[in-house]
Chain A
Amino acid sequence: MKKLASIAAMSALAMGLSSGAQAADETLGAVKGKGFVQCGVSTGLPGFSNPDAKGNWEGLDVDVCRAVAAAVLGDASKVKYIPLTAKERFTALQSGEIDVLSRNTTWTQTRDTKLGLNFAGVNYYDGQGFMVSKELGVKSALELDGAAVCIQSGTTTELNLSDYFRQHKMAYTPVVFDTSDQTVKGFEAGRCDVLTSDQSQLYALRIKLANPDGAMVLPEVISKEPLGPVVRQGDDQWFNIVKWSLNAMINAEELGLTSANIDKMKDGNNPGVKRLVGKEGPKGEGLGLSDDWAYNIVKQVGNYGEAFERNVGTGSPLNISRGNNALWSKGGFLYAPPMR
């Protein structure tokens, strides 16, 4: 009896210890073992991560998850999507519930340094804006003194909003909801005059309104919001994989590689293309992946430009122009380090 108890105690202690030793360097092995990537996404934001009519997730952030799955497992469909509110997202990543967080998350110093997380790059350069109902007759954010403002809780938006109104010596009433859906409902029901969020989200949320034409987005952009995928700190291999999956998409666009032409172009003479598809250059070795990892991404998910147009650009109801999110060579900010 006593022996049994002491054995139980020993094993409990051992279990605690082993869970302590685990953590770093193991995401790749765990993902390969499971056979799918666990990806944290939003609870539904058109263009970024939103389930379609059949329940399949789609969007720019979802394509990052699919790119990682294509690179690691050779199959972009092997992703398990976990919808998270803004409040839940970091805890879910820290606790290992998800392998990568791709959920329109702003890269900030606090998040990068104090939460045990690493941002693997930027897949959308955004900025915070305001949406108002047209009948209010407001033309600028500086006319918003005294307004009630709907916000999603746990976002950088909450902080920027407070800064902006304080700087311009204006008063406002914050009305804080948990999900972007609730925020839109609050705005529609008239609980607040203004809905504030990242501009891309405002366009996405506007098409969710019963009467999208009744609302307008004000011209002011009050902050910079670089959005990107996030991984846990301490697992450099996995960090590299996510970072280079995104870089591969951007580089593919720069090389003119698309999901449609990659099979034709991979046998050509362009040395950049040869390196990307893994015939030359660093291949997949340093990442711990097969040599055709980047080929799989472009073939199955497409390059960044394709993903952009399909989800948020001209091929989507959002109809957002490339703007800051064009390649560096075309006047935007997108610039991926070379694959060599």
Chain B
Amino acid sequence: MPAEVNKSLAPASKPKFWNDPDKRAIIFQILIVTMVVAFVAHIVNNALTNLETRGITTGFGFLTQTSGFDILLTLIPYDATYSFGRTFLVGLFNTLLVSFLGVALATILGFVLGVARLSNNWLISKAAMCYVETFRNIPLLLQIFFWYVAVLGPLPSPRQSIELGSAFINNRGFYIPSPVLEAGFWFVVIAFFVAIGACIYLSRWNHKRQDATGQQFPVFWASVGLLIGIPLVVYFLAGSPMTWDYPALKGFNFKGGAVIIPELMALLLALSIYTAAFIAEIVRSGIEAVSKGQTEASHALGVSNGRTLQLVVIPQALRVIIPPLTSQYLNLIKNSSLATAIGYPDLVSVFMGTTLNQTGQAIEIILMTMAVYLTISLLVSLLMNWYNKRMALVER
């Protein structure tokens, strides 16, 4: 039988190249790639020609023109005399701000809820279940409107603000005192970094000592003490180089201090509460994926409940949790573009909205916006994949 096969595979004459499947495949692939490239090149060229014949300005020159409009929330210095390029950065930073805070809050809330769902306490686990089922089944846009219109909207006007110590809350936002740093504050910052260094050293020293002697040192509490203690001592030694700027009602609104605008609060609440429901389920599935035998074995070795969770269950659960968690982070970042519905000045609202309308250069602006979301998402993916690899099972 094998002999016969060999015979049929080696015919007397060389086949025509289009009868050779390998060569044919290569030809087709080259053909398709050429077609795709030609098609894209044609589309781009066509669009440019059309824009020119219709008298629509193209190019990225608009990025250096003066913008002429103001923005509600800016993390970098900005006013109407800055350029459209600057509005891009302002929008980008606002998007990053809400994404970063949203990811952090959603992760914390999601982990707490995920663990709560597995609780032996009937009330806690059912409450967590209700939360998950409610919030992941209501459209996000609706939740954003709920927080913005129904919860934060009816707050009193600035003149009737609710007072919380020296902070105020009203329908224009949450006004808090902001720290004013003086010259000597540098020492405190340096002290803080020194404290971080000390913590790292402490942790390493503890590992070595444990390996050598088996004795443990309460690293966590010692680190907390160092992180708070060293900067605090330096702060007082430097003569308290910081004062507070308190918000006060002047004219129409509060002045001084810092303000968290209701648009940011509503968006942040909606995004983190919505995403936390999904994260909770991911965490629950991750923990349940670790077989019960692992916990029992750990208990049998006399390891305490907390240490079992910390050293046995969570490291293994994380392997299941991280990949879907990455997707949720990416969803949250992209969902932040719903900000435009309530007027939070994110990238879509400021750049793809106002800037696009003032310049009329739709293609350039939409391409830039898409590129930004793609870049942010790819970076987050990259980071999470790296973390995933670190956490993955190392097989020897």
Contact = CB atoms under 8 A, between A and B. Distances in A.
Nearest to B352: A87
Interface in A108-151: 110-111, 113-116, 136, 144-148
A53 interface: no
A162 interface: yes
B170 to A, nearest CB: 9
B306 interface: no
Interface string A315-336: 0000000000000000000000
Contact of B353 (A16, A178, A234): A178
Interface stretch (A63-71, A167-175, A244-252, A306-314): A167-175
A146 B71 contact: no
Chain B CB within 10 A, most for which of A5, A110, A173, A233: A173
A146 B70 contact: no
Interface string B156-177: 0100000000000001100000
A114 B42 contact: no
Contacts of B35: 5, 9
Contacts of B349: 153, 176
A18 B118 CA distance: 63
A270 interface: no
B110 interface: no
B53 A87 contact: no
B80 interface: yes
Nearest to B357: A154
Interface stretch (B250-258, B286-294, B319-327): B250-258
B343 A12 contact: no
Interface stretch (B54-62, B187-195, B369-377): B54-62
B72 A20 contact: no
Interface stretch (B43-51, B228-236, B308-316, B384-392): B43-51
B369 to A, nearest CB: 13
Contacts of B172: 148, 173, 191
A179 to B, nearest CB: 10
A158 B70 CA distance: 8
A311 B368 CA distance: 42
B185 interface: no
B130 interface: no
Interface residues of B, number: 50
A148 to B, nearest CB: 6
A154 B356 CA distance: 8
A2 B31 contact: yes
B357 A191 contact: no
A148 B42 contact: no
B69 A19 contact: no
A219 to B, nearest CB: 19
Interface stretch (A43-51, A75-83, A182-190, A275-283): A182-190
B315 to A, nearest CB: 47
A30 interface: no
A86 B69 CA distance: 15
Given A23-B53, A110-B360, A190-B157, A146 B171 contact: no
Contacts of B46: 16-17, 19-20
Interface string B237-268: 00000000000001111010000001000000
A116 B343 contact: no
Contacts of A86: 357
B360 A175 contact: no
B127 interface: no
A153 B70 contact: no
Interface in B120-175: 149, 153-154, 157, 171-172
B340 A178 contact: yes
Nearest to B251: A146
Contact of B252 (A17, A94, A147, A166): A147
Given A153-B349, A158-B69, A148 B55 contact: no
Contact of A91 (B81, B343, B345, B362): B362
A182 B343 CA distance: 9
B358 A154 contact: yes
Q: Closest 5 A-B residue pairs measured CB to CB?
A: A154-B357, A116-B56, A115-B360, A162-B80, A116-B54
